[in-house]
């Protein structure tokens, strides 16, 4: 049974001056279950900057209990701590306390021996700065290990050569010292008899909840004000819904924003953007680019809905392209569509690592014609023989990456409703929750009318269940299995059957009980259709020359 606290935690607050005084007296201790120091130099610098500007830096949690004499380390600061009957053991806040102690109590060091805790305050810019390794520091850089003690700070100012010429520097230094000493850190102090209780508290504090996703962090850091037309990625996703392409995932929109800004969308955005960057204009530019991308995908590439995107990488690359070239020529749009399908084909059937996002992004520059030619050159060409051998439903299951190619090929048949004969709209087939509305003809081996084929070769039959041969691009019909609809009289018109990759003869075979034969025949039909579909989309046999206009211009030059 887990123990409970006999006394409620004591709510209090420590000034940084008081807290670090307790550190120096050996009253603050680190339990052995605490993790090592994980913060990097940038984290430490941000913490001290927050203190200077009065930003909240979180609540501390201490465990009050006795502590033996020991040597305690807070970064480079070493404390020979005597025994203490009411020591404060850090349960939550180790990284912050260590950073504060390591910077503000940092021992004297020569420039060549500086570490990540050797920080300064630039009296000109009012920024927390760190010198390059071994480099001398400007005279107007105030060492932060001088600001906690008033006497040390005044002594440094007395020796400061710019004191008389720059009286504002003196005022800035005094404000910094006051801010550092008087900053209040809220804290809870817990008294518990068992260390096990503290371990439970520590675990729940550090593992409960879910970390923010990258797009949630982006919205928090760079989202606009409530009055902005596009305050964040969520608003951007909503604004694109009117194009009928479905809701674009915010993580993909974040990559598009980075690409539009010319940044590496494969890397952490927080390492490429500054906290003070205003991305309001970039969000508007991304919206404009993505509207053009969606129109291009629907009209030129034949992708009716975001759920049929086979490779999100190209969605991001296209955002960059249409940002730089918002009105490409018809020839460019044609070549760009080929490149889209060729890249998607390589990603689906070969290896996504065959395409380098950084190289593809670098291929998109200010010259429209050169950009599209560079993109085409990045993608490995595939022969007709390769397509005939590999681009078949038998080669892949519906759960693999190449599933998207089969879905696009099936949609290109312009599927119709089996009952009404009406063309099925993307809104009827795709949603934000389901990848695609695929309905199986046969759900399992236990069909209503098992035929002799199933008894002869159930393993062969089962192998067909999870391939496109067993699926129609059709919404479910409540209370009406598709098998019954296909078998019932009157039969759907031939054009309706053909829109679902079924011939009247195949339907007759199914009606007569030849389920396995039906699947085999339909697979052959889909095999041929997918290969024809990919040939029509990739057009490897056609010339990829630039537009005639660009060739004429080059000759004139």
Q: Domain range holding 470?
A: 393-538
Residue 548 domain-assigned (yes or no): no
Q: Report how far residue 259's alpha carbon sits from residue 364's, in angstroms, rounded to the nearest whole number.
A: 10
Neighbour-count burial for 127-145, b at 16+ CB within 10 Å, e otherwise: ebebeeeeeebeebbbbbb
Q: Are residues 367 and 445 in the same domain?
A: no
Q: Total structural domains in the chain?
A: 3
Q: Are residues 362 and 415 in the same domain?
A: no
Q: Are residues 462 and 421 in the same domain?
A: yes
Three-state helix/strand/coil letters over 95-115: HHHHHHHHHHCCCCCCHHHCC
Q: Are residues 191 and 45 in the same domain?
A: yes
| Bond preceding residue 490 cis, omega within 30 of 0 | yes
Q: Report how far residue 271's alpha carbon sits from residue 509's, in angstroms, rounded to the nearest whole number.
A: 61
Q: Are residues 155 and 45 in the same domain?
A: yes
Q: Are residues 256 and 136 in the same domain?
A: no
CA distances from 407 to 99, 200, 262, 305 (A): 54, 49, 32, 11
In a 3-state reduction of DSSP, which class is residue 492?
coil
Q: Are residues 46 and 177 in the same domain?
A: yes
Q: Report how far residue 155's alpha carbon sits from residue 244's, in angstroms, rounded to the nearest whole number.
A: 69
| Count of CB atoms situated within 10 Å of the CB of 222 | 21
Q: Are residues 62 and 189 in the same domain?
A: yes
Q: Report how far residue 427's alpha carbon sits from residue 438's, in angstroms, rounded to the nearest whole number.
A: 13
Q: Are residues 310 and 250 in the same domain?
A: yes
What's the half-sphere exposure (Cβ side, CA atoms, 13 Å) at 23?
Answer: 25
Is residue 289 exposed (0-12), middle (13-18) or buried (19+ Cβ within 10 Å)?
buried
Q: Are residues 185 and 68 in the same domain?
A: yes
User: Going by C-beta distance under 8 Å and a sequence separation of 6 or more, which residues neighbour residue 370?
Assistant: none
Q: Are residues 377 and 279 in the same domain?
A: yes
From first to last of its 557 residues, the chain has per-residue pLDDT tens of: 455 666 778 889 999 999 999 999 999 998 765 556 778 888 899 999 999 999 999 899 998 888 899 999 898 899 999 999 999 998 888 899 999 999 999 987 555 456 778 899 999 999 999 887 667 889 999 999 999 999 999 999 999 999 889 999 999 999 999 999 999 999 999 886 566 676 677 667 666 566 667 887 787 677 665 456 677 898 899 999 999 999 999 999 999 999 999 999 988 888 888 766 788 889 999 999 999 999 999 999 999 999 888 888 899 999 999 999 999 999 999 999 999 998 888 776 665 556 788 889 999 999 999 999 999 998 877 777 776 666 655 444 444 456 778 889 999 999 999 999 999 998 888 876 555 568 888 876 544 444 555 555 666 666 777 778 888 999 888 888 888 899 988 999 999 999 999 999 999 998 888 888 888 899 889 988 988 998 899 998 889 888 777 666 544 44
Query: How much of the chain is in helix, strand and coil states, percent to nearest 5?
Result: 50, 10, 40
User: Going by C-beta distance under 8 Å and a sequence separation of 6 or more, which residues neighbour residue 551?
Assistant: 545
Last residue of a domain, one of 209, 227, 256: 209
Q: Are residues 186 and 235 in the same domain?
A: no
């Amino acid at each position: 049974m887990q123990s409970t606290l006999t006394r409620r935690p004591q709510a209090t607050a420590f000034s940084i001056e008081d807290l670090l005084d307790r550190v120096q007296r050996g009253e603050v201790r680190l339990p052995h279950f605490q993790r090592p120091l994980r913060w990097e130099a940038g984290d430490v610098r941000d913490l001290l900057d927050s203190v200077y500007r009065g930003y909240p830096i979180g609540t501390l949690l201490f465990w009050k209990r006795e502590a033996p004499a020991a040597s305690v380390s807070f970064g480079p600061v070493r404390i020979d701590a005597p025994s203490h009957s009411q020591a404060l053991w850090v349960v939550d806040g180790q990284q912050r306390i260590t950073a504060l102690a390591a910077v503000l109590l940092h021992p004297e060091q020569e420039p060549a021996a500086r570490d990540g805790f050797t920080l300064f305050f630039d009296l000109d810019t009012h920024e927390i700065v760190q010198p390059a390794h071994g480099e001398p520091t400007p005279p107007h850089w105030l060492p932060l290990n001088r600001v906690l003690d008033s006497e040390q700070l005044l002594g440094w100012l007395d020796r400061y050569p710019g004191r008389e010429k720059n009286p504002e520097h003196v005022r800035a230094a005094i404000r910094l010292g006051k801010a550092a000493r008087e900053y209040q850190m809220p804290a809870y102090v817990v008294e518990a008899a068992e260390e096990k209780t503290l371990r439970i508290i520590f675990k729940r504090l550090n593992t409960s909840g879910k970390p923010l996703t990258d797009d949630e962090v982006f919205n928090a850091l760079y989202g606009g004000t409530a009055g902005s037309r596009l305050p964040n990625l969520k608003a951007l996703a909503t604004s694109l819904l009117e194009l009928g392409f479905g809701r674009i995932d915010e993580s993909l929109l974040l990559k598009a924003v980075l690409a539009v800004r010319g940044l590496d969308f494969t890397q952490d955005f927080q390492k490429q953007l500054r906290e003070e960057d205003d991305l309001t204009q970039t969000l508007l530019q991304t919206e404009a680019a993505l509207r053009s991308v969606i129109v291009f995908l629907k009209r030129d590439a034949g992708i009716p809905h975001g759920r049929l995107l086979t490779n999100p990488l190209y969605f991001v690359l296209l955002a960059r392209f249409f940002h730089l070239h918002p009105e490409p020529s018809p020839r460019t749009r044609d070549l760009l569509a080929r490149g889209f399908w060729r890249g998607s084909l390589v990603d689906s059937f070969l290896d996504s690592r065959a395409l380098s996002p950084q190289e593809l992004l670098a291929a998109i520059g200010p010259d429209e014609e050169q950009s599209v030619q560079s993109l085409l050159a990045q993608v490995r060409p595939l022969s007709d023989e390769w397509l005939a051998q590999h681009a078949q439903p038998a080669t892949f299951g519906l759960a693999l990456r190449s599933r998207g190619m089969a879905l696009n090929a099936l949609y290109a048949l312009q599927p119709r409703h089996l009952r009404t004969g009406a063309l099925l709209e993307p809104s009827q087939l795709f949603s934000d929750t389901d990848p695609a509305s695929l309905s199986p003809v046969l759900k399992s081996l236990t069909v209503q009318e098992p035929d002799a084929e199933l008894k002869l070769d159930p393993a062969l039959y089962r192998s067909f269940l999870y391939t496109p041969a067993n699926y129609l691009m059709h919404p479910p019909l409540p209370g009406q299995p598709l098998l019954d609809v296909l078998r019932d009289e009157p039969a759907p018109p031939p054009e309706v059957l053909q829109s679902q990759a079924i011939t009247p003869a195949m339907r007759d075979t199914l009606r007569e009980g030849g389920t396995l034969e039906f699947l085999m025949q339909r697979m052959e039909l889909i095999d041929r259709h997918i290969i024809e579909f990919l040939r029509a989309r990739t057009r490897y046999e056609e010339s990829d020359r630039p537009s005639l206009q660009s060739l004429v211009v080059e000759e004139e030059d």
